[in-house]
Protein backbone atom coordinates (compact mmCIF):
# COMPACT_ATOMS: atom_id res chain seq x y z
CA UNK A 1 0.00 0.00 0.00
CA UNK A 2 1.27 3.50 -0.84
CA UNK A 3 2.02 6.08 1.84
CA UNK A 4 -1.08 8.03 0.79
CA UNK A 5 -3.21 4.92 1.09
CA UNK A 6 -1.71 4.31 4.52
CA UNK A 7 -2.60 7.82 5.60
CA UNK A 8 -6.22 7.27 4.51
CA UNK A 9 -6.29 3.98 6.40
CA UNK A 10 -4.89 5.65 9.51
CA UNK A 11 -7.77 8.11 9.47
CA UNK A 12 -10.14 5.15 9.35
CA UNK A 13 -8.31 3.56 12.29
CA UNK A 14 -8.54 6.74 14.34
CA UNK A 15 -12.29 6.78 13.67
CA UNK A 16 -12.45 3.17 14.87
CA UNK A 17 -10.59 4.13 18.05
CA UNK A 18 -13.06 6.93 18.64
CA UNK A 19 -15.96 4.47 18.40
CA UNK A 20 -14.69 2.01 21.00
CA UNK A 21 -16.68 1.42 24.15
CA UNK A 22 -14.33 2.53 26.92
CA UNK A 23 -15.08 4.79 29.90
CA UNK A 24 -13.20 7.63 28.21
CA UNK A 25 -15.13 7.20 24.94
CA UNK A 26 -18.38 7.18 26.89
CA UNK A 27 -17.69 10.57 28.48
CA UNK A 28 -19.88 13.24 26.92
CA UNK A 29 -18.04 15.08 24.09
CA UNK A 30 -18.71 18.53 25.56
CA UNK A 31 -16.61 18.15 28.75
CA UNK A 32 -13.87 16.40 26.76
CA UNK A 33 -13.79 19.26 24.26
CA UNK A 34 -13.81 21.95 26.96
CA UNK A 35 -11.09 20.23 29.01
CA UNK A 36 -8.94 19.86 25.88
CA UNK A 37 -9.35 23.52 24.96
CA UNK A 38 -8.59 24.58 28.54
CA UNK A 39 -5.50 22.33 28.53
CA UNK A 40 -4.21 23.85 25.28
CA UNK A 41 -4.73 27.38 26.57
CA UNK A 42 -3.01 26.63 29.89
CA UNK A 43 -0.03 24.89 28.27
CA UNK A 44 0.49 27.72 25.82
CA UNK A 45 0.13 30.32 28.59
CA UNK A 46 3.39 29.30 30.34
CA UNK A 47 6.24 31.74 29.73
CA UNK A 48 9.05 30.35 27.51
CA UNK A 49 11.36 29.77 30.49
CA UNK A 50 8.86 27.93 32.72
CA UNK A 51 9.98 24.49 31.60
CA UNK A 52 9.20 22.76 34.90
CA UNK A 53 5.69 24.20 34.88
CA UNK A 54 5.06 22.91 31.35
CA UNK A 55 6.46 19.48 32.26
CA UNK A 56 3.98 19.28 35.12
CA UNK A 57 1.16 19.55 32.60
CA UNK A 58 2.23 16.16 31.19
CA UNK A 59 0.18 14.61 33.99
CA UNK A 60 -3.04 15.07 31.98
CA UNK A 61 -2.03 13.04 28.88
CA UNK A 62 -0.25 10.55 31.15
CA UNK A 63 -3.47 9.87 33.09
CA UNK A 64 -5.57 9.52 29.94
CA UNK A 65 -3.11 7.19 28.21
CA UNK A 66 -2.69 5.15 31.38
CA UNK A 67 -6.36 4.78 32.26
CA UNK A 68 -8.00 5.34 28.88
CA UNK A 69 -6.86 2.06 27.33
CA UNK A 70 -4.84 3.89 24.67
CA UNK A 71 -1.41 2.89 23.44
CA UNK A 72 1.21 5.61 23.81
CA UNK A 73 3.54 3.95 21.30
CA UNK A 74 0.74 3.75 18.70
CA UNK A 75 0.06 7.45 19.29
CA UNK A 76 3.72 8.28 18.72
CA UNK A 77 3.74 6.11 15.58
CA UNK A 78 0.66 7.86 14.17
CA UNK A 79 2.19 11.24 14.88
CA UNK A 80 5.66 10.35 13.60
CA UNK A 81 5.45 13.03 10.91
CA UNK A 82 3.99 15.88 12.91
CA UNK A 83 6.08 15.45 16.10
CA UNK A 84 9.50 16.13 14.50
CA UNK A 85 8.01 19.23 12.87
CA UNK A 86 6.70 20.37 16.25
CA UNK A 87 10.11 19.75 17.78
CA UNK A 88 11.76 21.95 15.15
CA UNK A 89 10.01 24.99 16.62
CA UNK A 90 12.55 26.97 18.57
CA UNK A 91 15.50 24.88 17.42
CA UNK A 92 17.45 28.07 16.64
CA UNK A 93 16.85 29.62 20.06
CA UNK A 94 20.15 28.29 21.56
CA UNK A 95 22.05 30.19 18.85
CA UNK A 96 20.38 33.54 19.49
CA UNK A 97 20.06 33.39 23.29
CA UNK A 98 23.31 32.29 24.92
CA UNK A 99 22.75 33.99 28.25
CA UNK A 100 23.13 31.50 31.15
CA UNK A 101 19.77 30.83 32.75
CA UNK A 102 20.48 28.17 35.35
CA UNK A 103 22.99 25.57 36.46
CA UNK A 104 22.11 21.91 36.94
CA UNK A 105 24.72 19.71 38.59
CA UNK A 106 27.41 22.14 37.52
CA UNK A 107 26.21 22.34 33.90
CA UNK A 108 25.15 25.79 32.74
CA UNK A 109 21.95 25.85 30.71
CA UNK A 110 21.47 28.89 28.48
CA UNK A 111 18.19 30.72 28.06
CA UNK A 112 18.04 29.56 24.45
CA UNK A 113 18.21 25.87 25.38
CA UNK A 114 15.59 26.38 28.06
CA UNK A 115 13.12 28.13 25.72
CA UNK A 116 13.78 25.55 22.97
CA UNK A 117 13.00 22.67 25.33
CA UNK A 118 9.96 24.50 26.67
CA UNK A 119 8.58 25.08 23.15
CA UNK A 120 9.23 21.43 22.21
CA UNK A 121 7.43 20.14 25.29
CA UNK A 122 4.54 22.55 24.72
CA UNK A 123 4.25 21.39 21.11
CA UNK A 124 4.34 17.68 21.99
CA UNK A 125 1.81 18.08 24.82
CA UNK A 126 -0.67 20.05 22.73
CA UNK A 127 -0.43 17.52 19.89
CA UNK A 128 -0.92 14.65 22.35
CA UNK A 129 -3.95 16.34 23.93
CA UNK A 130 -5.54 16.86 20.51
CA UNK A 131 -4.79 13.23 19.61
CA UNK A 132 -6.44 12.10 22.85
CA UNK A 133 -9.57 14.04 21.96
CA UNK A 134 -9.90 12.68 18.41
CA UNK A 135 -8.97 9.14 19.46
CA UNK A 136 -11.77 9.07 22.01
CA UNK A 137 -14.44 11.25 20.38
CA UNK A 138 -15.96 10.93 16.91
CA UNK A 139 -15.99 13.92 14.57
CA UNK A 140 -19.79 13.90 14.68
CA UNK A 141 -19.77 14.05 18.50
CA UNK A 142 -17.28 16.93 18.47
CA UNK A 143 -19.60 18.70 16.01
CA UNK A 144 -22.54 18.00 18.31
CA UNK A 145 -20.60 19.50 21.23
CA UNK A 146 -19.74 22.57 19.15
CA UNK A 147 -23.43 23.02 18.36
CA UNK A 148 -24.19 22.79 22.10
CA UNK A 149 -21.79 25.68 22.54
CA UNK A 150 -23.89 27.60 19.99
CA UNK A 151 -21.10 27.70 17.41
CA UNK A 152 -22.88 28.73 14.16
CA UNK A 153 -24.20 25.76 12.19
CA UNK A 154 -22.43 26.81 9.02
CA UNK A 155 -19.01 26.70 10.75
CA UNK A 156 -19.71 23.30 12.29
CA UNK A 157 -20.85 22.00 8.89
CA UNK A 158 -17.66 23.33 7.31
CA UNK A 159 -15.59 21.54 9.97
CA UNK A 160 -17.48 18.29 9.45
CA UNK A 161 -17.17 18.46 5.68
CA UNK A 162 -13.45 19.23 5.85
CA UNK A 163 -12.99 16.12 7.99
CA UNK A 164 -14.96 14.07 5.46
CA UNK A 165 -13.15 15.55 2.45
CA UNK A 166 -9.67 14.87 3.81
CA UNK A 167 -10.25 11.16 3.23
CA UNK A 168 -11.80 11.90 -0.19
CA UNK A 169 -8.70 13.89 -1.16
CA UNK A 170 -6.39 11.16 0.11
CA UNK A 171 -8.21 8.35 -1.68
CA UNK A 172 -8.18 10.33 -4.96
CA UNK A 173 -4.48 11.09 -4.53
CA UNK A 174 -3.84 7.39 -3.84
CA UNK A 175 -5.67 6.29 -6.99
CA UNK A 176 -3.76 8.81 -9.10
CA UNK A 177 -0.46 7.79 -7.55
CA UNK A 178 -1.18 4.11 -8.25
CA UNK A 179 -2.11 4.89 -11.88
CA UNK A 180 1.04 6.99 -12.24
CA UNK A 181 3.40 4.47 -10.66
CA UNK A 182 2.08 1.66 -12.88
CA UNK A 183 3.20 3.67 -15.90
CA UNK A 184 6.45 4.89 -14.38
CA UNK A 185 8.08 1.70 -13.12
CA UNK A 186 11.22 2.14 -11.07
CA UNK A 187 10.75 5.87 -10.77
CA UNK A 188 11.00 7.37 -7.30
CA UNK A 189 8.29 9.94 -6.66
CA UNK A 190 6.53 11.99 -9.31
CA UNK A 191 8.58 13.60 -12.08
CA UNK A 192 8.81 17.39 -11.81
CA UNK A 193 7.08 17.85 -15.17
CA UNK A 194 4.03 15.88 -14.07
CA UNK A 195 3.38 17.67 -10.77
CA UNK A 196 1.38 20.54 -12.24
CA UNK A 197 -1.08 18.43 -14.18
CA UNK A 198 -1.37 15.88 -11.37
CA UNK A 199 -2.25 18.49 -8.78
CA UNK A 200 -4.69 20.14 -11.19
CA UNK A 201 -6.38 16.81 -11.91
CA UNK A 202 -6.39 15.93 -8.22
CA UNK A 203 -8.13 19.20 -7.40
CA UNK A 204 -10.76 18.73 -10.11
CA UNK A 205 -11.42 15.09 -9.21
CA UNK A 206 -11.60 15.86 -5.51
CA UNK A 207 -14.04 18.69 -6.18
CA UNK A 208 -16.23 16.36 -8.25
CA UNK A 209 -16.21 13.70 -5.56
CA UNK A 210 -16.74 16.22 -2.77
CA UNK A 211 -19.73 17.61 -4.67
CA UNK A 212 -21.20 14.12 -5.14
CA UNK A 213 -20.61 13.34 -1.47
CA UNK A 214 -22.35 16.56 -0.41
CA UNK A 215 -25.25 15.74 -2.74
CA UNK A 216 -25.48 12.31 -1.18
CA UNK A 217 -25.67 13.90 2.29
CA UNK A 218 -28.33 16.40 1.15
CA UNK A 219 -30.42 13.61 -0.39
CA UNK A 220 -30.53 12.00 3.05
CA UNK A 221 -31.85 15.05 4.83
CA UNK A 222 -28.58 16.77 5.74
CA UNK A 223 -28.87 20.48 6.58
CA UNK A 224 -26.37 22.78 8.20
CA UNK A 225 -28.38 22.55 11.42
CA UNK A 226 -28.91 18.82 11.25
CA UNK A 227 -28.58 16.80 14.42
CA UNK A 228 -25.50 14.92 13.33
CA UNK A 229 -25.36 12.56 16.25
CA UNK A 230 -27.64 12.37 19.21
CA UNK A 231 -25.72 14.31 21.84
CA UNK A 232 -27.12 13.04 25.10
CA UNK A 233 -27.59 15.12 28.19
CA UNK A 234 -24.74 15.47 30.67
CA UNK A 235 -24.59 12.83 33.39
CA UNK A 236 -22.94 13.00 36.78
CA UNK A 237 -19.84 11.15 35.51
CA UNK A 238 -19.41 13.79 32.78
CA UNK A 239 -19.66 16.59 35.31
CA UNK A 240 -17.19 14.80 37.57
CA UNK A 241 -14.76 14.42 34.65
CA UNK A 242 -15.07 18.10 33.82
CA UNK A 243 -14.79 19.33 37.40
CA UNK A 244 -11.88 17.10 38.38
CA UNK A 245 -9.75 17.78 35.31
CA UNK A 246 -10.52 21.48 35.23
CA UNK A 247 -9.53 21.85 38.89
CA UNK A 248 -6.40 19.73 38.46
CA UNK A 249 -5.25 21.62 35.38
CA UNK A 250 -5.82 25.03 36.93
CA UNK A 251 -3.94 23.96 40.07
CA UNK A 252 -1.09 22.64 37.92
CA UNK A 253 -0.97 26.00 36.16
CA UNK A 254 -0.92 28.00 39.38
CA UNK A 255 1.41 25.73 41.36
CA UNK A 256 4.37 24.32 39.40
CA UNK A 257 4.22 20.84 40.91
CA UNK A 258 7.59 19.59 39.69
CA UNK A 259 9.32 22.74 40.98
CA UNK A 260 7.68 22.34 44.38
CA UNK A 261 8.68 18.68 44.56
CA UNK A 262 12.22 19.61 43.52
CA UNK A 263 12.44 22.19 46.29
CA UNK A 264 11.68 19.50 48.84
CA UNK A 265 14.98 17.85 47.97
CA UNK A 266 17.11 20.98 47.83
CA UNK B 1 -54.98 1.60 -12.69
CA UNK B 2 -52.48 2.09 -9.87
CA UNK B 3 -51.64 5.47 -8.38
CA UNK B 4 -49.29 7.69 -10.42
CA UNK B 5 -46.15 8.40 -8.40
CA UNK B 6 -44.08 10.36 -10.91
CA UNK B 7 -45.49 12.44 -13.72
CA UNK B 8 -43.08 14.06 -16.16
CA UNK B 9 -44.20 16.37 -18.92
CA UNK B 10 -42.13 18.08 -21.64
CA UNK B 11 -38.87 17.64 -19.68
CA UNK B 12 -35.82 19.14 -21.34
CA UNK B 13 -32.39 19.85 -19.93
CA UNK B 14 -29.02 21.00 -21.22
CA UNK B 15 -25.64 21.51 -19.57
CA UNK B 16 -24.40 23.62 -22.49
CA UNK B 17 -26.62 25.86 -24.53
CA UNK B 18 -27.67 24.21 -27.77
CA UNK B 19 -26.70 20.69 -26.61
CA UNK B 20 -29.80 19.18 -25.01
CA UNK B 21 -29.16 16.14 -22.84
CA UNK B 22 -32.89 15.50 -22.47
CA UNK B 23 -35.39 16.68 -25.03
CA UNK B 24 -39.16 16.96 -24.40
CA UNK B 25 -39.58 13.82 -22.34
CA UNK B 26 -43.09 12.96 -21.12
CA UNK B 27 -43.65 9.82 -19.12
CA UNK B 28 -45.45 8.58 -15.98
CA UNK B 29 -44.40 5.98 -13.45
CA UNK B 30 -46.83 4.16 -11.21
CA UNK B 31 -46.82 2.72 -7.73
CA UNK B 32 -44.99 -0.67 -7.62
CA UNK B 33 -43.54 -0.15 -11.14
CA UNK B 34 -40.06 -1.51 -11.65
CA UNK B 35 -38.67 0.53 -14.51
CA UNK B 36 -35.39 0.08 -16.32
CA UNK B 37 -34.08 3.17 -18.10
CA UNK B 38 -31.70 1.86 -20.73
CA UNK B 39 -29.51 3.56 -23.26
CA UNK B 40 -25.92 3.77 -24.45
CA UNK B 41 -23.32 5.94 -22.71
CA UNK B 42 -24.22 9.65 -22.68
CA UNK B 43 -27.85 8.91 -23.59
CA UNK B 44 -29.03 11.05 -20.65
CA UNK B 45 -29.98 8.28 -18.19
CA UNK B 46 -28.12 9.60 -15.14
CA UNK B 47 -29.18 13.20 -15.82
CA UNK B 48 -32.77 11.98 -15.96
CA UNK B 49 -32.48 10.48 -12.47
CA UNK B 50 -30.70 13.54 -11.08
CA UNK B 51 -33.48 15.80 -12.31
CA UNK B 52 -36.05 13.75 -10.42
CA UNK B 53 -34.41 14.59 -7.08
CA UNK B 54 -33.35 18.11 -8.01
CA UNK B 55 -29.63 17.40 -8.17
CA UNK B 56 -29.68 19.18 -11.51
CA UNK B 57 -31.79 22.33 -11.74
CA UNK B 58 -33.74 23.93 -13.23
CA UNK B 59 -35.29 21.78 -15.93
CA UNK B 60 -37.71 22.93 -18.60
CA UNK B 61 -41.08 21.25 -18.39
CA UNK B 62 -42.54 19.77 -15.26
CA UNK B 63 -41.80 16.90 -12.88
CA UNK B 64 -44.35 16.02 -10.22
CA UNK B 65 -43.62 13.49 -7.51
CA UNK B 66 -46.85 12.39 -5.85
CA UNK B 67 -48.46 15.65 -7.03
CA UNK B 68 -45.63 17.79 -5.65
CA UNK B 69 -43.74 19.76 -8.31
CA UNK B 70 -39.95 19.43 -8.19
CA UNK B 71 -38.85 22.97 -7.36
CA UNK B 72 -36.21 24.48 -5.11
CA UNK B 73 -38.62 25.06 -2.24
CA UNK B 74 -40.11 21.55 -2.40
CA UNK B 75 -36.84 19.63 -2.57
CA UNK B 76 -36.71 18.61 1.10
CA UNK B 77 -40.24 17.19 0.86
CA UNK B 78 -39.43 15.39 -2.39
CA UNK B 79 -36.19 13.94 -1.04
CA UNK B 80 -38.00 12.42 1.93
CA UNK B 81 -40.02 10.36 -0.54
CA UNK B 82 -37.16 9.28 -2.78
CA UNK B 83 -34.10 7.18 -2.05
CA UNK B 84 -31.27 7.72 -4.53
CA UNK B 85 -28.48 5.17 -4.83
CA UNK B 86 -25.38 6.59 -6.48
CA UNK B 87 -23.40 4.62 -9.03
CA UNK B 88 -20.24 4.90 -6.94
CA UNK B 89 -20.85 3.43 -3.47
CA UNK B 90 -17.91 5.39 -2.08
CA UNK B 91 -19.92 8.52 -2.76
CA UNK B 92 -22.91 7.11 -0.93
CA UNK B 93 -21.07 5.91 2.15
CA UNK B 94 -19.25 8.54 4.14
CA UNK B 95 -19.69 7.62 7.80
CA UNK B 96 -17.32 5.31 9.67
CA UNK B 97 -19.42 2.20 10.10
CA UNK B 98 -22.31 0.68 8.17
CA UNK B 99 -24.63 1.23 11.12
CA UNK B 100 -23.81 4.94 11.36
CA UNK B 101 -24.25 5.42 7.64
CA UNK B 102 -27.63 3.71 7.63
CA UNK B 103 -28.65 5.82 10.64
CA UNK B 104 -27.53 9.05 8.98
CA UNK B 105 -30.86 9.90 7.29
CA UNK B 106 -33.22 9.01 10.16
CA UNK B 107 -31.07 11.03 12.54
CA UNK B 108 -31.08 13.98 10.17
CA UNK B 109 -34.84 13.80 10.10
CA UNK B 110 -34.78 14.13 13.88
CA UNK B 111 -36.26 10.73 14.74
CA UNK B 112 -35.87 9.47 18.31
CA UNK B 113 -32.96 7.07 18.88
CA UNK B 114 -35.11 3.98 19.44
CA UNK B 115 -36.88 4.59 16.12
CA UNK B 116 -33.49 5.16 14.43
CA UNK B 117 -32.27 1.82 15.80
CA UNK B 118 -35.45 0.07 14.64
CA UNK B 119 -35.10 1.51 11.12
CA UNK B 120 -31.42 0.62 10.89
CA UNK B 121 -32.11 -2.97 11.91
CA UNK B 122 -34.99 -3.24 9.42
CA UNK B 123 -32.97 -1.72 6.54
CA UNK B 124 -30.04 -4.05 7.16
CA UNK B 125 -32.41 -7.02 7.36
CA UNK B 126 -34.00 -6.11 4.03
CA UNK B 127 -30.68 -6.29 2.23
CA UNK B 128 -29.54 -9.30 4.28
CA UNK B 129 -26.50 -7.66 5.87
CA UNK B 130 -27.30 -7.33 9.60
CA UNK B 131 -23.92 -8.94 10.32
CA UNK B 132 -22.14 -5.96 8.75
CA UNK B 133 -23.67 -3.36 11.08
CA UNK B 134 -20.53 -2.59 13.04
CA UNK B 135 -18.06 -3.06 10.18
CA UNK B 136 -15.99 -0.04 9.11
CA UNK B 137 -16.90 1.14 5.60
CA UNK B 138 -13.33 0.95 4.33
CA UNK B 139 -13.25 -2.78 5.11
CA UNK B 140 -16.30 -3.63 2.96
CA UNK B 141 -16.06 -5.42 -0.38
CA UNK B 142 -17.62 -3.88 -3.52
CA UNK B 143 -20.77 -6.01 -3.23
CA UNK B 144 -21.16 -5.29 0.48
CA UNK B 145 -20.77 -1.58 -0.21
CA UNK B 146 -23.56 -1.71 -2.77
CA UNK B 147 -25.94 -3.48 -0.38
CA UNK B 148 -24.97 -1.05 2.41
CA UNK B 149 -25.69 1.85 0.01
CA UNK B 150 -29.17 0.51 -0.57
CA UNK B 151 -29.69 0.09 3.17
CA UNK B 152 -28.78 3.75 3.71
CA UNK B 153 -31.79 4.82 1.68
CA UNK B 154 -34.16 2.10 2.93
CA UNK B 155 -33.81 3.52 6.45
CA UNK B 156 -35.56 6.64 5.09
CA UNK B 157 -38.56 4.39 4.24
CA UNK B 158 -38.86 6.00 0.80
CA UNK B 159 -41.83 5.48 -1.56
CA UNK B 160 -39.55 5.55 -4.58
CA UNK B 161 -36.07 4.13 -5.18
CA UNK B 162 -33.77 5.47 -7.89
CA UNK B 163 -30.61 3.55 -8.75
CA UNK B 164 -27.86 4.67 -11.07
CA UNK B 165 -26.02 1.74 -12.68
CA UNK B 166 -26.40 -0.52 -9.62
CA UNK B 167 -24.70 -3.54 -11.17
CA UNK B 168 -21.55 -1.68 -12.23
CA UNK B 169 -18.36 -3.33 -10.94
CA UNK B 170 -20.14 -6.21 -9.19
CA UNK B 171 -18.98 -9.80 -9.54
CA UNK B 172 -21.57 -12.44 -10.60
CA UNK B 173 -22.33 -13.57 -7.05
CA UNK B 174 -22.88 -10.05 -5.71
CA UNK B 175 -24.82 -9.17 -8.84
CA UNK B 176 -27.11 -12.15 -8.26
CA UNK B 177 -27.65 -11.23 -4.62
CA UNK B 178 -28.46 -7.62 -5.60
CA UNK B 179 -31.05 -8.88 -8.11
CA UNK B 180 -32.55 -11.05 -5.39
CA UNK B 181 -32.74 -8.08 -2.97
CA UNK B 182 -34.26 -5.73 -5.55
CA UNK B 183 -36.90 -8.23 -6.57
CA UNK B 184 -38.08 -8.42 -2.96
CA UNK B 185 -38.91 -4.69 -2.93
CA UNK B 186 -42.40 -3.37 -3.39
CA UNK B 187 -41.43 0.27 -4.00
CA UNK B 188 -41.58 2.09 -7.30
CA UNK B 189 -38.04 1.48 -8.61
CA UNK B 190 -36.31 3.27 -11.44
CA UNK B 191 -33.00 1.73 -12.44
CA UNK B 192 -30.67 3.14 -15.07
CA UNK B 193 -28.28 0.72 -16.66
CA UNK B 194 -26.77 -0.49 -19.88
CA UNK B 195 -26.48 -3.94 -18.31
CA UNK B 196 -29.52 -5.31 -20.10
CA UNK B 197 -29.33 -8.70 -18.40
CA UNK B 198 -29.67 -6.94 -15.07
CA UNK B 199 -32.68 -4.98 -16.36
CA UNK B 200 -34.16 -8.21 -17.71
CA UNK B 201 -33.88 -9.78 -14.26
CA UNK B 202 -35.20 -6.85 -12.22
CA UNK B 203 -37.63 -4.73 -14.26
CA UNK B 204 -41.21 -5.09 -15.44
CA UNK B 205 -41.04 -2.08 -17.73
CA UNK B 206 -38.27 -0.72 -19.94
CA UNK B 207 -37.78 2.80 -21.28
CA UNK B 208 -35.15 3.20 -24.01
CA UNK B 209 -33.52 6.63 -24.21
CA UNK B 210 -31.23 7.86 -26.95
CA UNK B 211 -29.93 11.39 -27.51
CA UNK B 212 -32.21 12.65 -24.75
CA UNK B 213 -35.45 11.30 -26.22
CA UNK B 214 -37.63 8.34 -25.34
CA UNK B 215 -37.37 5.90 -28.21
CA UNK B 216 -39.41 3.02 -26.79
CA UNK B 217 -41.42 2.25 -23.66
CA UNK B 218 -42.82 -1.20 -22.95
CA UNK B 219 -42.37 -4.57 -21.34
CA UNK B 220 -38.89 -6.16 -21.30
CA UNK B 221 -40.10 -9.16 -23.26
CA UNK B 222 -40.77 -6.91 -26.26
CA UNK B 223 -38.05 -4.26 -26.04
CA UNK B 224 -35.13 -6.39 -24.89
CA UNK B 225 -35.83 -8.98 -27.59
CA UNK B 226 -35.89 -6.39 -30.39
CA UNK B 227 -32.35 -6.68 -31.72
CA UNK B 228 -32.91 -4.16 -34.52
CA UNK B 229 -34.18 -1.53 -32.10
CA UNK B 230 -31.37 -2.11 -29.61
CA UNK B 231 -28.63 -2.12 -32.22
CA UNK B 232 -29.94 1.08 -33.80
CA UNK B 233 -29.48 2.83 -30.45
CA UNK B 234 -26.05 1.60 -29.46
CA UNK B 235 -27.13 -1.46 -27.43
CA UNK B 236 -27.05 -5.20 -27.91
CA UNK B 237 -29.35 -8.06 -26.98
CA UNK B 238 -28.96 -9.22 -23.38
CA UNK B 239 -26.40 -12.02 -23.24
CA UNK B 240 -29.02 -14.36 -21.81
CA UNK B 241 -31.19 -13.83 -24.91
CA UNK B 242 -28.55 -13.75 -27.61
CA UNK B 243 -27.57 -16.86 -29.56
CA UNK B 244 -24.11 -18.05 -28.67
If you write DSSP's letter for every residue of A42-100 in order, what string do you get?
HHHHS-TT-HHHHHHTTHHHHHHHHHTT--HHHHHHHTTTHHHHHHHTTTTHHHH---E
Q: Tell me, yes or no, whether A35 lies in a domain.
A: yes
pLDDT at site B144: 92
**Cβ-proximal residues to B127 (8 Å cutoff; 6+ apart), any chain:** B147, B148, B150, B151, B154, B181
B109, A16: Cβ pair inside 8 Å?
Answer: no
Tell me the average pLDDT of chain B.
90
- Say how many domains are in chain A: 2
Same domain for A239 and A220, yes or no, is no
Same domain for A132 and A28, yes or no, is yes
Q: How many residues does chain A have?
A: 266
Same domain for A31 and A130, yes or no, is yes
Contacts of A8 in chain B (CB under 8 A): 138
Same domain for A98 and A65, yes or no, is yes
Q: Please state the φ and ψ torsions of residue B160, each to the nearest 5 degrees.
A: -130, 140
Alpha-carbon gap: B108 to the closest alpha carbon of chain A (Å): 5
Residue of A nearest to B96 (CA): A15
Name the helix (H) or strand (E) containing B68. Answer: strand B68-69
Contacts of A223 in chain B (CB under 8 A): 108
User: Which pLDDT band, with edges at 50, 70 and 90, does B233 fall under?
Assistant: very high
Q: Tell me, yes or no, whether A31 lies in a domain.
A: yes
User: Which pLDDT band, with edges at 50, 70 and 90, does B13 fall under?
Assistant: very high
Is residue B126 within 8 A of residue B154, CB to CB? The reply is yes
Same domain for A145 and A199, yes or no, is yes
Q: Tell me, yes or no, whether A76 lies in a domain.
A: yes
Nearest by CB to residue B105, choosing from A15, A213, A221, is A221
Closest CA to B210 of B223, B225, B198, B197: B223
Q: Tell me, yes or no, whether A5 lies in a domain.
A: no
Alpha-carbon gap: B212 to the closest alpha carbon of chain A (Å): 23
Contacts of B96 in chain A (CB under 8 A): 12, 15-16, 18-19, 138
| Mean pLDDT value across residues B59-87 | 91
Same domain for A210 and A252, yes or no, is no
A228, B80: Cβ pair inside 8 Å?
Answer: no
Residue of A nearest to B76 (CA): A221
Same domain for A175 and A128, yes or no, is no
Rounded Cα distance between B80 and B1, Å, is 25
The answer, yes or no, to whether ipTM is higher than 0.95 is no
- Percent of chain B whose pLDDT exceeds 90: 59
Contacts of B113 in chain A (CB under 8 A): 230
| Mean pLDDT value across residues A180-187 | 80
Same domain for A35 and A112, yes or no, is yes
Residue A11: is its pLDDT beyond 90?
no
Is residue B37 within 8 A of residue B207, CB to CB? The reply is yes
Same domain for A65 and A127, yes or no, is yes
Interval A58-86: pLDDT, tens = 999 999 998 888 888 888 888 887 888 88
Same domain for A152 and A180, yes or no, is yes
* B49, B55, B97, best to mutate vs chain A, most A CBs in 10 Å: B55
Is residue A146 within 8 A of residue A225, CB to CB? The reply is no
B110, A227: Cβ pair inside 8 Å?
Answer: yes
Residue A2 or residue A96, greater confidence:
A96
Q: Tell me, yes or no, whether A14 lies in a domain.
A: no
Q: Tell me, yes or no, whether A266 lies in a domain.
A: no
| Mean pLDDT value across residues A203-220 | 86
Q: Tell me, yes or no, whether A265 lies in a domain.
A: no
pLDDT at site A226: 63
Residue B58: is its pLDDT beyond 80?
no
Q: Tell me, yes or no, whether A45 lies in a domain.
A: yes
Closest CA to A129 of A47, A34, A45, A48: A34
Closest CA to A230 of B154, B93, B120, B110: B110
pLDDT at site A227: 54
pLDDT at site B230: 94
Residue of A nearest to B114 (CA): A230
Residue A246: is its pLDDT beyond 90?
yes
- State which residues form the domain around A190: 139-227
- Percent of chain B whose pLDDT exceeds 70: 98
Closest CA to B121 of B102, B106, B108: B102
Confidence (pTM): 0.74
Closest CA to A61 of A123, A139, A149: A123
Residue A39: is its pLDDT beyond 90?
yes
User: Which pLDDT band, with edges at 50, 70 and 90, does B11 fall under?
Assistant: very high
Same domain for A118 and A171, yes or no, is no
| Mean pLDDT value across residues B139-146 | 89
Same domain for A39 and A119, yes or no, is yes
Is residue B212 within 8 A of residue B23, CB to CB? The reply is yes
Residue A228: is its pLDDT beyond 80?
no
Amino acid sequence: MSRIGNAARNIGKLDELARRDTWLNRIHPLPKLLVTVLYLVLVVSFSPRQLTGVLGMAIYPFILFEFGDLSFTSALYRMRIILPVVCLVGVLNPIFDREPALTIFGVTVTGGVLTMLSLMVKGVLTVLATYLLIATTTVESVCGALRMLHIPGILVTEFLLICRYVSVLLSEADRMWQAYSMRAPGQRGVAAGAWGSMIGRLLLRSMDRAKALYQSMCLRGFRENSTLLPVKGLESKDLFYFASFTTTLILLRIFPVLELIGRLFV
Amino acid sequence: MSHIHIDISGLSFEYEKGHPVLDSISVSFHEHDSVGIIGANAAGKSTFLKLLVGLEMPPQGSIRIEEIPVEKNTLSKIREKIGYVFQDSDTQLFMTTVQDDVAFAPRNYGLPEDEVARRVARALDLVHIPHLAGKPIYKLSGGEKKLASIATILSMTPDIILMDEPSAALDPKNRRSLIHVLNEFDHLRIITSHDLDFIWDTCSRVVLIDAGRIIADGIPDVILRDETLLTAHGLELPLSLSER
